[in-house]
Structure formats: structure tokens, C-alpha cells
Structure 1
Amino acid sequence: MSASLALFGILGALLVGAVSPGPSFVLVSRIAAKFSRMDGLSAAAGMGLGGAIFATLALLGLTAILTQVEGLYLALRVFGGLYLVYLGIRTWRGASDPIDIPDSTTVPPASTLRSFAIGLVTQLSNPKTAVVYASIFAALLPPSAPLWLLLVLPPLVFTLEASWYAIVALAFSAQGPRSVYLRSKSWIDRVAGSVIGALGARLISETFLSRN
């Protein structure tokens, strides 16, 4: 397989994974609808950076170490699960809190920075994503990949992940979806919190079950 075909194959496989519904989609859509377009785009950028970090780790072979050192991998899975459960509980508990949606898309820098950090930590809190990246790279990356391919992969992964979640953020920060969210905030937040928390609990349970 040529380097160009490998590049398109890797990006295509990662795009399929990115668009699959999961905690990242729920989180970005909720941030965009609840706060502002800039908050949603900041969270999308955080997701993109997390993807680029996973791509870099996969290229360096560190994810292979992660899967071989069982204790470290299990600990990271439990940490990721606990973080998702924490996010789910916070979302559920704040479901009935009233919110003020700003009319302008301009928000204080601290707010966008916080949204960026939440997106980044959410992406990095799932070690299964690291294994997916490592598996795709191992399957599709040529054994003697040219230097240009290794250099362009992380920024292209960032662009792919951030672009998809930016589309999600733009869609859910539009007036229509935002109005729906405001009218039904309580039950939407409870559903979102339940989904995120359930995914975290499932990650933890799978971790302990895999040890038996």
C-alpha cells in the first residue's frame, strides 16, 4: 500500500469512529446548546487536540506499551470511567438549574478555555480511543512509512476530529436546536447525564470483568 493510500485509509477509519455517537458527541452538543457557539467550538478544538495526542502516541509506539503493561492500562480505564461518571452526575444534578443563554457569540475567555479543557480531558479520559488509534495505525501504516507521512498525520487528525465536532457545535448552537434545548433542558440534561454516566460505568465494569 502506498503512503498516500495509507493516509486516506487511516483518516477514513478515524472519521468513521469520530462520527459514531458517544460521550464526546453528547458533550460537545450540550456545551454548544447550553452556553454558546464559541464554547462549542472550543470543546471541538479540545477534542481535536486529544485526537492529535493519541495519534502522536500511536506513532511513537507508546500505546503498545500501554496495552502490555496491564496494571497501567486498567488504571487508566478505571480513571476514564470514573471521569465520565462524574460528568454524568454533574450533568444530571444541574438539569433543573436555570441558565441564561447569551445573545452574542462572544463569551469571556475563561469560559471558552474551560470548554476547551473539558473537551480535551473527555477525549483523553478514554484509553480505548488510544487502542483504536494504535490498532488502525498498526493495520494501515506502511512498515517503512516516509517521514512526511509521520509528520502530517497528527495535524491532519486534529483537523479531522476538530472539524467534525465543530460541525456538531455549529448545528447545536443554532437558534432552532438551542430553543429546543431551552424548552426541554431538564429531561435532555438528565438523558445526557444518564448516557455519559452509563458509558463510564460500562467502561469500569468491562475493566474489572476483563480481569476475570
Structure 2
Amino acid sequence: MTIETWLSFTLAAMMLCISPGPTQLLVMGQSLTYGKRSVVPLILGVLSGDMIAMSLSVLGLGAVLALSATLFAVLKYLGAAYLCYLGIKAWRAKTAKAEDADKTPLASGAIFKEALLVTALNPKGIIFFMAFFPLFIDTAQAYLPQVSVLAISFLLVSGLSVSFYSLFAGQLRQKVQSPKLQTGFNKISGAMLIGAGALTATMQK
């Protein structure tokens, strides 16, 4: 693998991870609710979701989905339904002052699970790994070392992106004390997650 190929992949990964989407909205929403306490489970959940998506791509799930319209539809609607569920949950979420939220028990397992599922079912991630990931593989060279380098590079970029969004939302959380503003953010996040679910439902092979 040439340095040019690696740089091209890293740039594509940065564009995918930094651009706003379901994962970024979830990260910001959880960070606004729990602050810095949610950073670790969020990062672990997102990275685990990325690893699942990459593993499925490497194992050839893309080819299976392309051949099986039924399996593709089942996975697509499951992902869409879960994203819509998270959107409705965010829309209806109650707000609290920052000092009160700091005393709320942190459900690390639930935060990890939501981050994992949203990331693994993210249409952008699925399309990226199924369609673009193989384009950076040089068939004239050993396969496993190339996949390992690309996977590690993507996870590093993804981890930095999640950390950035978490820290940004954490700083914003200190300023957004108004329940009205928090309610508005919850509704915007919920609407965009529902929109992401609708996008997933209409995604074609």
C-alpha cells in the first residue's frame, strides 16, 4: 500500500466521521445529558460498531446482501426501526439542569449499546465499508496487512471524531442551562434520527 493510497483513505474516513449524522447526534445528545462521564462508553460503543461494520464488510456481507433481497430488506428495516425509536426517545426526553444531571446514575451499558447499534446501522458507514473500503486494497499485495492498516487508521479517526463531538457537547452543556434550549436540541436530534431512519428504509442496494 502506497502512502498516497493511505492518505486518500484517511481523508475519506475523516469526511465520513466528521460529517454530521446519527452517530454524531447521539454522541452530542448523551454528552449534553451526562457530560464527561459518558465519553468512555460512547467511544467504546462507536468503535465497537465500526469494528462490526468493518468485519461484516471483510467477511463479504456486502456480496450476500447484494444477492439476497430479503436479507437486505430485513436488515434495512430493522436498522430504520431502531433509529426511529431512538429519535422518538430523544424527542420525548425530559430536560434537567446540569447540576441535577451530574447526580443522575450513569447507565454506561445502555449508552454503549446505543452507540454501538447506531454506528453499526449507520447508512453512511454501511455504504462506506461495503462500497469504498475494498477500493483501497491492492490485489497485488498481501491482503491482511492492508486491511489491518486501514482498519486501525479508521478506528483512530473515528475515536478522535467521537472525542471531539463529546468534548464540544460537554462544553456546550455548561452554557445550555435553559430547559427550553435543551428541549429544542432534543427535538432537533430526535427529528434527525427519525430522518436517518427514513433514509435507511429507502436505501437501495
Who is 2:56 aligned against? 57
Structure 1 residues 127-206: aligned runs within 5 Å: 127=123, 129-146=125-142, 147-174=144-171, 177-183=172-178, 184-204=181-201, 206=202
Cα displacement (A) at 1:128: 5.1
- The one-letter code matched in structure 2 to 1:30 is G
Q: Of residues 95, 112, 116 in structure 1, which corresponds to 2:108? A: 112
**Scaled by the length of structure 1, what TM-score is found?**
0.83
Aligned residue-pair number: 200
Structure 1 residues 79-118: aligned runs within 5 Å: 79-94=78-93, 96-98=94-96, 100-102=100-102, 111-118=107-114
Cα displacement (A) at 1:51: 1.4
Counterpart CA distance in 1 for 2:157 and 2:14 is: 7
- The one-letter code matched in structure 1 to 2:190 is G
Counterpart CA distance in 1 for 2:125 and 2:183 is: 30
Who is 2:31 aligned against? 32
Partner of 1:78, secondary structure, is helix
Cα displacement (A) at 1:3: 4.1
Offset from partner CA, 1:156-181 (integer Å, 9 cap, x none): 3222212211111011112xx00343
- Partners of 1:31 and 1:39 within 8 A in 2: yes
Give structure 1 regions of 4+ aligned residues with deviation exceeding 6 angstroms: none
Partner of 1:121, secondary structure, is helix
- Partners of 2:35 and 2:173 within 8 A in 1: no
Cα displacement (A) at 1:139: 2.1
Give the unaligned 5+ runs of structure 2. none
Partner of 2:101, secondary structure, is coil
**Cα gap change, 1:189/1:127 in structure 2, threshold over 3 Å: closer, same or farther?**
closer
**Cα gap change, 1:86/1:29 in structure 2, threshold over 3 Å: closer, same or farther?**
same
**Scaled by the length of structure 2, what TM-score is found?**
0.86
Cα displacement (A) at 1:59: 2.4
Who is 2:75 aligned against? 76
Cα displacement (A) at 1:45: 2.4
Cα displacement (A) at 1:90: 0.7
- The one-letter code matched in structure 2 to 1:156 is S
Give the unaligned 5+ runs of structure 1. none
Counterpart CA distance in 2 for 1:196 and 1:181 is: 21
RMSD: 2.3
- Partners of 2:76 and 2:200 within 8 A in 1: yes
- Partners of 2:123 and 2:200 within 8 A in 1: no
- The one-letter code matched in structure 2 to 1:102 is D
Who is 1:43 aligned against? 42
Counterpart CA distance in 1 for 2:60 and 2:4 is: 21
